[in-house]
Structure 1
Amino acid sequence: MNYGVIDVGSNTVRLCVYDVSADGKKFKTIMNRKTMAGLASYVRDGKISEEGIAVAAESISKCLKRASYLKPVRVDVFATAVLRNISNSAQAIAAIESEAHCSIVLLSEEDEAHLGFVGASSRDTMENGVLIDIGGGSSEVTLIVNGNDVMRASLPVGSLSSYKGHVGDILPTEEEFASIRRAVRDLLDADAHGMSEHRVRRLFGVGGSIRALAGVNARMLDDASERDMTHEDVDRLVCDLFERRRAFLDAVLHVSPERVHTIACGLAILVELFDDFDASMLHVCANGVREGYLIDRMLKSVH
């Protein structure tokens, strides 16, 4: 049986279709397509414009049409920070649902962080550490103790929102990079959960920004893995950004050209999280929030 999940994010609208076993316990991805909708660019003064609503509806409609070719038994659409953190959220979602002829599940900050953990832990063993997901409009940070997600924080800072708020050109200057880091640090310090008080050896990462950064690291460093980065790797990437700017840019254009304007902002967020938690390494998980949604919100009802 095939199941489809459409993830409406700040930068992309992504469709994943999964082939699920009859007992609902195993699945594999058979389609993974993204549309660079850039919905965050249509947000002005805290509201998404009518044009942005139209772009979202069109992108979702295209995903629904693609999914239909694989005859899924169910397709769910969910949205995260880009539609969650706007003042006209309810009106925008209703308009998109009407135009795209679908229902949209708006994930809360807690939902997004927990589903990221569910997805990541379905393929990777996570005993103790911090799981991070650097999205376009927010970054989810989850403390893991003895294999359980015990504390979650959603920081209203992502790679795309940081670019919009701090960067004047394609790549940030050292001052702009530092300002993004300060914004992350201030948000962590202000978090009521006290997340920044914890120290861990290992970070776990999900999402496109972290996968792209791991790919750039592997491109620039011989024999580096695309699934693991050390603190030293991340610090070296920061040096490369400013001292080997052309080489850094070439690596990004090879690995993830659509993130050329946001990946350095994601790097600023990542290095601040590395420093804040005093972590020594990061492991890039195979699955994330979409797989978590499939497992927790769709397959639980199969049997």
Structure 2
Amino acid sequence: MEGKEEDVRLGANKFSERQPIGTAAQSDKDYKEPPPAPLFEPGELTSWSFYRAGIAEFMATFLFLYITILTVMGVVKSNSKCSTVGIQGIAWAFGGMIFALVYCTAGISGGHINPAVTFGLFLARKLSLTRALFYMVMQCLGAICGAGVVKGYQKGLYESNGGGANVVAPGYTKGDGLGAEIVGTFILVYTVFSATDAKRNARDSHVPILAPLPIGFAVFLVHLATIPITGTGINPARSLGAAIIYNKKHAWDDHWIFWVGPFIGAALAAIYHQIVIRAIPFKSRP
């Protein structure tokens, strides 16, 4: 018992009553903050790991579009939504695929599978501009191929049921759609930052293992809320792939919303997490 009392006394004296908050609390860290990624990193272009990561992003986005667009087609073709998985099933398909694919590719490319996620992480200096642009191109190509395969073996059904393209639903304005995409993407990218936070990873060993789960749930919940408004984009590659393969005028009328909204939402999430939540100072302390 004496030993335990000594431990308690030492613990009580080790930390003063007044603890620093905000940026002042970042001294004596018990974890190591990864250094900011360089803006340009030409050396990446000669590395196989760079291209392997791009291929992983392509394949993940391809599989993501393939499963999710097939699910959407299965729901919209039916006269009775009770005979299908319904909106909840569509939301589960999107969220479940993100959960599985982030788990599979996180160790290779980071498991972005979304240009908005890549953009938010780039703003936070988690990856270089070189890698960010490469990821976005590969994600868009994967999405186009995924939607193209779905159309390839059920063309009539695909073209007669909207092709899974994102549009602002009747009864909603373009402003409504833009707002839904901004907030929805903010939720997703904020979850990505929180689930992959270096501080949490260092202190909670289970966080890296569980990171895909909250990200998938965020996608699921956002889809439940915004499918009736925009069909839920929150992923410019997903919206672009479906629009290109479907290629009808109304699919392009509101297409800008599914780029502008997610990029604004991702930027706001990056700012909120880095400056407010993490309280990263603008100037380093002497």
TM-score between both structures, scaled by the size of structure 1: 0.27
Q: Name the one with the larger helix percent.
A: 2
Work out which of the two has the higher radius of gyration on C-alpha atoms and give 1 or 2.
2
Q: Name the one with the larger strand percent.
A: 1
Compare relative contact order (CA 8 Å, sep 6+) and give the higher one, 1 or 2. Answer: 2
